[in-house]
Structure formats: structure tokens, C-alpha cells
């Protein structure tokens, strides 16, 4: 994962998160690596891919999710540390 980027979108509600995920994989060459129900109605979706693809995907995902729900946060981490991937493996969401 260290040679790629990860992008995260957190929404209020599952439908908005699912819409964001759909838009992200359609907009760019990214792979969904995690979906987490944080609590309090917050759901996050994490994708990985090349930096440019992840940026394009998160922009498209946020726009789509905002159309039907609330986007709480969007963030891209270019070239994340290799240990970050272990958190997805431990949660069983890799």
C-alpha cells in the first residue's frame, strides 16, 4: 500500500456511503479496501489506488454522496506508511 494512496469519505448514513463508493469506483481506477460503520450513523468508505485516481475518486464520491445525504469528511493520504495497511487487515476489511 505504501506506493499508492488511500482516500476516505465519511458520510452520515449508509445510503450516502454506498452512493459515494459506487461513484468512486466508476470515476477512477480505485479499489475499495474498507467500509466501516463508525457509530452514530457515520459510515466511512476507504479506497486505494494511484494518487491521481484516488483524488478523482474522492471528489466524485463526495459530490455524489452530497446529492442524497451529508458528507462529514473527505481525505486523501498519498503514499501512506506500510503499517497503515495492517489496520485494514486486522479489522477484516482488506
Q: If you count them, how many residues does the chain have? A: 94
Which is it for strands 42-49 and 31-39: parallel, antiparallel or unpaired?
A: antiparallel
Neighbour-count burial of 19, counting CB atoms closer than 10 A to its CB (0-12 exposed, 13-18 middle, 19+ buried): buried
Q: Strand locations in 15-94, DSSP E?
A: 31-39, 42-49, 70-78
Q: What is the DSSP letter of 89?
A: H
What is the model's pTM? 0.87
Question: pLDDT tens for residues 41-78?
Answer: 999 999 999 999 999 999 999 999 999 999 999 999 99
List domains and CATH numbers for the chain.
Answer: 5-90 (3.30.70.1710)
Q: How confident is the model at residue 94 (pLDDT cuts 50, 70, 90)?
A: very low
Amino acid at each position: 500500500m505504501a506506493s499508492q494512496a488511500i482516500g476516505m469519505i465519511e458520510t452520515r448514513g449508509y445510503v450516502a456511503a454506498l452512493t459515494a463508493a459506487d461513484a468512486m469506483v466508476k470515476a477512477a481506477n480505485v479499489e475499495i479496501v474498507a467500509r466501516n460503520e463508525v457509530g452514530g450513523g457515520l459510515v466511512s468508505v476507504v479506497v486505494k489506488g494511484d494518487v491521481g485516481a484516488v483524488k478523482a475518486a474522492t471528489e466524485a464520491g463526495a459530490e455524489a454522496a452530497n446529492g442524497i445525504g451529508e458528507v462529514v469528511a473527505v481525505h486523501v493520504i498519498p503514499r501512506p506508511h506500510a503499517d497503515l495497511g495492517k489496520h485494514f487487515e486486522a479489522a477484516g476489511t482488506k
